[in-house]
Structure 1
Amino acid sequence: MSEPIRVVVTGAAGQIAYSLLYMIAKGDVFGPNQPLILHLLDIPLMMGVLEGVVMELADCAIPLLRGVVPTDDPAVAFKDVSAAFLVGSMPRKQGMERKDLLSANVRIFKVQGEALDKHAKKDVRVLVVGNPANTNALICSKYAPSIPSENFTAMTRLDQNRAQAQIAARLGLPVGNVSNVIIWGNHSSTQYPDASHAVVQTDGKQLKASDAIKDDNWLRSVFVETVQKRGATVIAARQMSSAMSAAKAAADHMRDWFNGTAPGQFVSMGVVSDGSYGTPKDVVFSFPVSIKNGKWEIVQGLTIDDFSRKMLDATGKELEEEKTDAVGIIGA
């Protein structure tokens, strides 16, 4: 086995982390031969709860887990970490506007960016889960200038997983038979779940998802709206935001970033935009990416029809507005 790597999870006493920590510790993310030391960060008020989480991790008796460092100090939490799951943020509650969420959370990610800059490994891979994830990731990267901006990503994998599941259900297929569904733009209700490049395996053949579904109206209306509003629908049902599915998506995102994507397949990640597909530059925008040797690359050359163009422009505009608001809040 290799030397242990250090992995930080923020909001470690919270609901998402409660599912995520076990997945990480048992090898679902970094592999069955990679020992690790978990750094758990939360606010002082949550230290008692975090102590219980540490006990449970010990009681799981996981061979790969070589140590746990619970703390409320970012300097300790981010020391020498190779991977960071930035989960901790004020959660979205029913009826809450995104601007309220942005105002509450953008300062948190400024502080965490500064701590990463000072204490983390310079090749640390950072996944922002706490919402509004795209703009939080952008602010975090701005305050960690010594770490490459491509090392900061936002999670849209939950949206991708939701979209994949909707197509699988529509066709009566196992979810693993659906691939290359794309989430464009913001992890918000303006996101664009795009099935036009998705493929499905059915009856021993590979088909375009649109050819298998044979209902463009459903793909551009019910499908899009279901995925866009899924987070709000979950909140309405359980009176709390998505936790188990968000943890699974975070694990999926980081696993693919470390291990790569299969040839011909791509996944959705919020990354700093270079303007590909006519998107605004210098916002964190979700694109289809392929990953090799730990490096993501935006998939190029995909056809963007008029409907898709309109959707990409709308979510891009929202991200530019969020960026302006965020900069105003922190006075950057």
Structure 2
Amino acid sequence: MLSEQMLRIAKENLQTHIEIEKEEEYIKSLINPLQVWISSASAPACYNLIPLLANGEVFGMATEVSIHLLDSSHYKEILHGIVMEAEDLAFPLLRSVSMHTELDDAFVQADIVILLDDILFQHEIPSLEDCIRQVTEQCKVYGSLIEKNANSKVKVIVSGKTFVNLRALMIMTFAPSIDGQNIIAVAMFLENAAKAMLARKLNMNSAVKDVIVWGNISGNSYVDLSKAKVYKYDSAIWGPPNFSRHLLDMIYDGNWVRSEFAFVLSSLSSWGHHCLGMSPAHVIATVLRYWYQDSPPGEIVSMGILSEGQFCIPEGIIFSMPVRFQDGSWEVITETEISEETQEALKRLAHDLIQVIGKFTFPPPSLSSSQTLPERESNPNTQREN
């Protein structure tokens, strides 16, 4: 019956059904907290990340979380100290904090897995081939464990400064049952650094948006300013809060953009650049908040995702490109127009990334139950191109 009255009843029934489902999800969230696993948990980024995950702003004020810290036994005392300090925060939404140094229990029932840098440095910086071998072995172990122990709809965030795109691709390879849509590489660190540099150049607070990072996040990348906008700029032109101006119309120093700006950003993705973990933690928390509560309407977010041929980028590689988060998922902003210059840059970046992928080996995943997390050196002091 398609009468107007029946259509109204159907609409009301649908709305009631949606409200009941939301109520059930809310009750379930109170019974079963969100299980969050963080690898390399002794790193400064993890220390700064825990309060951001537990204060309710990322997942919502109705979602409790249980945080699991994973690292080698060499860092057991550091992990114990982090657990005690996190418990002392007394966040109402933090159900529990636990430490893990054995691989057998890694990622059990994980809803979210955050992979910080896991490259295994010895006392001296190894060769590129050694780094590739170590990264492959680590991703093989983690991918197999995620496949075996995590929830089927687990969300995996790959962060850090070493082979970020390729680590995400290998996690997909060794965890084949996990939806590729749920494995992403974080590019917002470079995106935010670019916004901050541009804001300082304009002598203003950081109110720059829609900067796009293309390509290999921890290697050869291209920062695209063609869509960048500036808000709240103090000048003779005034407008409402949503009024913006094109950034390239306001920066007249093209040489600065091509030289100093590009050089500083390239150095940020090098192994020799260190930070205390505040920025990576903020970036990871922001990505998770967008994933669970949507990104701001109309705003572009750079993210390393599996290419399906968008923008003529070869399929099957992890490539940073513009996305938006909506309804618990993300989608590529394919309507983004790119210039011929940018298209040529994308071809070059894709070619370089494929060449690096060719150096990696993807052996069949296997895992010994007696394996333990190897020790790692977290302070490399030599810069290499990755």
Say yes or no: TM over 0.5.
yes
- State the AA in 1 paired with 2:291: W
- After alignment, is 247-256 or 68-77 more displaced? 68-77
Measured in 2, the distance between the counterparts of 1:83 and 1:319 equals: 27
**Larger proportion of helix:** 1
**Cα offset for 1:100?**
4.6
* In 2, Cα distance between equivalents of 1:262 and 1:160: 16
Q: Which residue, out of 149, 166, 170, partners 1:119?
A: 149
- Paired with 1:118 and 1:95, the residues of 2 have a C-alpha distance of 32
Picking from 163, 166, 191, the partner of 2:221 is 191
Matching of residues 146-161 of structure 1 within 5 Å? 146-161=177-192
Q: Distance in 2 between matches of 1:270 and 1:46?
A: 30
Higher Rg:
2
Q: How many residues are aligned here?
A: 326
**1:70 aligns to 2:99 (yes or no):** yes
Matched residue, 1:212: 250
Q: Provide the C-alpha distance between the structure 2 equivalents of 1:99 and 1:252, rounded to a whole number of angstroms.
A: 34
Q: Alignment partner of 2:87: what SS? A: helix
Give the residue type in structure 1 aligned to 2:316. Answer: D
Q: 1:278 Cα shift?
A: 1.7
- What one-letter code is carried by the residue in structure 1 that aligns with 2:94? L
* In structure 1, distance between residues paired with 2:85 and 2:360: 37
Q: Could you say if the C-alpha distance between residues 91 and 310 of structure 1 is closer, same or farther in structure 2, counting changes exceeding 3 Å?
A: farther
Aligned pairs for 1:214-293 (under 5 A) are 214-232=252-270, 235=272, 240-241=274-275, 243-293=277-327
1:107 matched to 2:137? The reply is: yes
For residues 123-145 of structure 1, what are the alpha-carbon distances to aligned partners after superposition, in whole Å with 9 as ceiling and x for unaligned?
11110114211100100011111
What 5-or-longer segments of structure 2 have no aligned partner?
1-25, 366-386
> Any unmatched runs of 5+ in structure 1?
none
| Matching of residue 318 in structure 1 with residue 352 in structure 2 | yes
State how far apart, in whole Å, the 2-side matches of 1:92 and 1:212 are: 44
The CA distance in 2 between the partners of 1:160 and 1:307, in whole Å, is 20
Change (3 A) 1:214 1:98: farther
With the length of structure 1 as denominator, give the TM-score of the two structures: 0.90
Two-structure CA RMSD over aligned residues (Å): 2.3
Report SS of the residue matched to 2:171.
helix
Q: Residue in 1 aligned with 2:173?
A: 142
Q: Secondary structure at the match of 1:325?
A: coil
Q: Which has the higher contact order (CA 8 A, sep 6+)?
A: 2
Query: How far is 1:265 from its partner?
Result: 0.8
Alpha carbons of structure 1 residues 158 and 113: separation in structure 2 relative to 1, 3 Å: same
Secondary structure, in 3 states, of the residue corresponding to 1:291? strand
Higher mean displacement: 18-27 or 241-250: 241-250
Show CA shifts across 1:307-331 (max 9, x none). Answer: 3223222321222122222226x47
For 1:10 and 1:286, the matched residues in 2 are separated by 22
Please give the secondary structure, in 2, of the residue aligned with 1:326. coil
Q: Which residue number corresponds to residue 42 of structure 1? A: 71
Cα deviation, residue 95, structure 1: 7.3
What stretches of structure 1 move > 6 A for 4+ residues in a row? 91-97
